Amino acid sequence: MNKVATRALQSSTALSRAGFHTTQLNGQRISINLRYIGQAEQIERLERNEVFVGHLPRDAFEDELLQRMQQAGRVYKIRWMMDFSGNTRGYGFVKYVTPDEAQIALRLLNNFCIRFNHDPIGAKISMDNKALFFGNLPITCTARVLVNALTKIEVQGIMGAIMDDQLLPRNRGYCDRRCFVLFQSHEAATKARRVLLPVEVKMSGRVLSIDWGRTDIPQWEVQNLPGFHSVSQNYRNHQNFNFSHSNTYTKSILPATDMYLCARGIY
Count of residues making up the chain: 267
Residue 231 shares a structural domain with residue 136 = yes
How wide is the angle at C-alpha 148 spanned by C-alphas 182 and 226, nearest 5°? 45
How much is the pLDDT for 256?
Answer: 31
Q: Which of 25-34, 43-52, 88-97, 216-225 has the lowest mean pLDDT?
A: 216-225
Per residue in 36-80, pLDDT tens?
999 998 998 888 899 999 999 999 999 999 999 999 999 999 999
Give the residue from 125, 153, 176 where a domain finishes.
125
Residue 209 CA neighbour count, 13 Å, CB half: 12
Give the pLDDT confidence score for residue 46 in this predicted structure: 85
**Domain termination residue (choose one: 107, 125, 143):** 125
Query: Does position 239 have pLDDT exceeding 50, yes or no?
Result: no
* Nearest to 216, CA basis, from 184, 242, 245: 242
Regarding whether 118 and 137 lie in a shared domain, the answer is no
Question: Is residue 265 in a domain?
Answer: no
Residue 68 included in any domain: yes
What digits encode the pLDDT tens for the residues 111-153?
Answer: 999 998 899 999 999 877 888 989 888 888 888 899 999 998 8
Considering only CA atoms, which of 31, 53, 30 is closest in space to residue 112? 53
Q: What is the domain count for the chain?
A: 2
pLDDT of residue 194: 82
Establish if 266 belongs to a structural domain.
no
Q: List the one residue out of 117, 120, 125, 57 whose CA is nearest residue 96.
A: 125
pTM exceeding the 0.75 threshold for the entire prediction: no
- My answer on whether 149 and 39 are in the same domain is no
For the domain that residue 179 is a member of, what is the CATH number?
Answer: 3.30.70.330
Are 51 and 70 in the same domain? yes
What is the pLDDT at residue 1?
A: 67
- pLDDT for residue 103: 96
150-184 pLDDT per residue, tens: 998 889 899 888 887 666 666 555 567 888 898 88
Asked whether the predicted pLDDT for residue 243 surpasses 50, the reply is: no
Which of 125, 149, 180 is the last residue before a domain boundary?
Answer: 125
Host domain of residue 9: 3-125
pLDDT at 261 over 70: no
